[in-house]
Structure 1
Amino acid sequence: MNTGDKKFVPVMITPFNLKAKVDFDVLQQLIDFYIAAGVKGFFANCLSSEMYSISEDERLELTSFIVKYVNGRLPIVATGSFGLTIEDKAEFTKKIYDTGIEAAIMITGHFAHVDDPDELLLKNFDKMFGLTGDIPLGTYECPAPYKRILTAEVFQKLVASNRLVYHKDTSILLDNVKAKIEIATNSNMEFYDAHTPNAMYSLQMGAKGMSSISGNFYPEILVWMCNNALDPAKQEDVAWLQSELTAVDPIIHQAYPMSAKYFLQKRGLPIRTISRTYALELTPQQKQTLDEIHTRFLGWCDRLGIKPL
């Protein structure tokens, strides 16, 4: 997946129908929406996809559908580390890789319990490497089942394995992000920051791109940031946009992914506000707040010369 440009890769949400089954017709429209926004890849079967609330068969069916519909236009990665044992995780990784994705992503919290030392984490990763042949792999510091942040030392050892081509980081602290970006430099790994308030800083420090939930609200804005963060002539707008994105980021996380589905409805997509992970309806106040962010988003587009989809 290595190219010279910066890339925005959305963590895909899953549309559901009235029976809370995957709505593949709407999913096609969502994929078209992402592509029209200028994204450079997809992260399927991820936390935003509600992967913990769908079955193994649904994870595979969902990923396979996305691969077939995208049809080679953009690269796709998807989570593979499901199962009770490392052997189970390796088996599912093989199944999801066979759907045609570019790399299978391993959730760091799947390879050691919260109190386990890094030595055990590395041992389990090494076992996973041995059981998955030459399948390209990636890592993701997913918040669930718990957020296992990789230290720079652990990250260095994993990068040295030459098995990783992708990393989605949730370190948040810029010193930690910078240390890992420096380790990933000149390797086969692409480093993506998941934390929107870091976007300008991570991109300028050398991250390959961003992969944040904000792309399920306004993907063309994150694409603009990836395209312009290093442009000397755009630094005033880049800094202004970063301030705007940081201000609203805690708000869009509330009631997510329901918040994203409501926001995309406002943008004209026929996505129902049905979620398997968020059971409550959005309150009138939550809707009003998202309405206000939508108005703010239109102002961003106006200043930056972006035609909203």
Structure 2
Amino acid sequence: MKTQNKVTRRDFLEKMPPLALGIVAGSGLVSSALARSTAPSADEKKFVPVMVTPFGTDQKIDYDHVSRLIDFYLAAGAKGFFANCLSSEMYFLSEQERIDLTRHVVKHVNGKVPVVSTGSFGDTLANKALFAKKINDTGVDGVILISSHFAEKGESDAVLMQHFEQFFALAGDMKLGTYECPSPYKRVLSPEVFKFLVSNKNMIYHKDTTEDIAKIEEKLAVAKGTQMELYNAHAASALKSLQKGGQGMSPISGNFYPEIHTWLCKNANNPAKAEDANWIQAEITRMEPLISNSYPLSSKYFLRKRGLPVELVCRAKGKMITPEQQLVLDKAHRTFLDWCSRLGIEAVKA
């Protein structure tokens, strides 16, 4: 934070060129977490699912089904995992469950692709840092910070950056990311805040929920040539964000038809597939409000139709799916199979 006699780290960093800060292309999630024999090329677009959490009828996490779900995502082409996120019902998990679930995902994935997990829970910055260290100790490739966990709704960006800076000092050296989670409220990162975050070489990941391609482009301009990778959560702007330089996509519809998002990531910049890419973008945009009703329970219903034996159990709101919504989801499933037929995709058999 700024005083009359002291130049802050933020003031100094804003005057420094990226190379002087150690911010270089290829030092982000791909190269730091995927320096493996199976690592994709730096310009490959990646589908990273925001994982749902299978529960048993006793409301406990069903870890066998978590494992089956991971295998399903991988078979569908997932290039990473976001465990312990809003889709995972993280606000309805205990602190220990958040840690145990993350550790299980890391262990089952076994280094095939990166795993990130939310780590900014706690009523003080010190407690947030302690919990972040616990999540980091599970072996994740990045600890995700919810933007609205670091400032109240009415507080300024200056306060937000000050709190981030204090957290960084407490957290030590770990790979970090940000997530504009809609809960407790959606705190969209301004270009100024995003520039400040990108100046920290440990910041490697950003999940964007602005639903605004202009704001995404502003962030991509700041992140260009740095270690920061942007993943778009908004299905309707997925194609444009990939074409503008976004690293990948993480929409909730990835819990319904992950193969479609894998295809879009693979073909977003393929001129030979431009017509199909524009067509499927319009289709997933049209479908999004239909499948979002009663989410995440609606995704579990859809996954059951696909052969995954997950229970129709959630801890979050939306405890049941109406017969009318079942008909909508049944039709959506048939539509998905039609998409696969047109695009030449083989739907994964769970």
TM bracket (short chain): over 0.9
Does the CA-based 8 Å contact 2:125-2:163 persist in structure 1? yes
Q: Which moved more, 1:228-237 or 1:3-12?
A: 3-12
AA aligned to 1:245 is I
CA offset digits 1:233-276 (Å, max 9, x no partner): 00000000000000011121111000000000000000111000
SS class of match (2:86): coil
Tell me the equivalent position of 2:246.
Answer: 207
Aligned residue among 167, 174, 188 for 2:227: 188
Amino acid at match of 1:118: D
Whether 1:41 and 2:42 are equivalent positions in the alignment is: no
1-side partners of 2:284 and 2:154: how far apart?
A: 34
CA–CA distance in 1 between the matches of 2:184 and 2:129? 18
Q: Which residue of 2 aligns with 1:59?
A: 98
Is 1:236 matched up with 2:260?
no
2:151, 2:159 within 8 Å by CA — same for their partners in 1? Answer: yes
Q: Which runs of 4+ in 1 moved over 6 A?
A: none
TM-score (norm 2): 0.87
1:283 aligns with 2:322: yes
Secondary structure, in 3 states, of the residue corresponding to 2:51? coil
In the alignment, the residues of structure 2 paired with residue 28 and residue 173 of structure 1 have an alpha-carbon distance, to the nearest angstrom, of 34
Pairing of 1:1-309 with structure 2 (within 5 A):
1-2=29-30, 3-309=42-348
Q: Which letter maps to 1:194?
A: A
Pairs aligned (count): 309
Residue type matched to 1:134 in 2?
D
CA distance in 2, matches of 1:227, 1:128: 36
Distance 1:131 1:140 in 2: 20
Distance of 1:60 and 1:160 partners within structure 2: 28
Identity %: 52
Conserved? CA contact 2:86–2:181, under 8 Å:
yes
CA contact (8 A) 2:54 2:66 kept: yes
Shift of 1:157: 1.4
- Deviation at residue 279 of structure 1 after TM alignment: 4.4
> Comparing 271-280 with 209-218, which one deviates more in the overlay?
271-280
Q: Is contact 1:129–1:163 with CA below 8 Å preserved after alignment?
A: no
Query: Distance in 1 between the 2:89 and 2:314 partners?
Result: 8
| CA displacement at 1:162 relative to structure 2 | 2.2
Q: Which runs of 5+ in 1 are unaligned?
A: none
Q: Which amino acid aligns with 1:20?
A: Q
Deviations 1:116-170 (A, max 9, x none): 1111000000011111111011000000000000011211111112231000001
CA distance in 1, matches of 2:260, 2:208: 20
**What secondary structure does 1:89 align onto?**
helix
The separation in 1 between residues aligned to 2:324 and 2:338, in whole angstroms, is 21
Q: Secondary structure at the match of 1:186?
A: coil
| Shift of residue 200, structure 1, vs aligned partner | 0.6
Q: Deviations over 1:173-224 (max 9, x none)?
A: 1110111011111111111000000111000000000011110000010000
Note the C-alpha offset of 1:105: 0.2
**Residues of 2 paired with 1:279 and 1:147: CA distance?**
21
CA distance in structure 2 between the aligned counterparts of 1:250 and 1:114, rounded to whole angstroms: 27
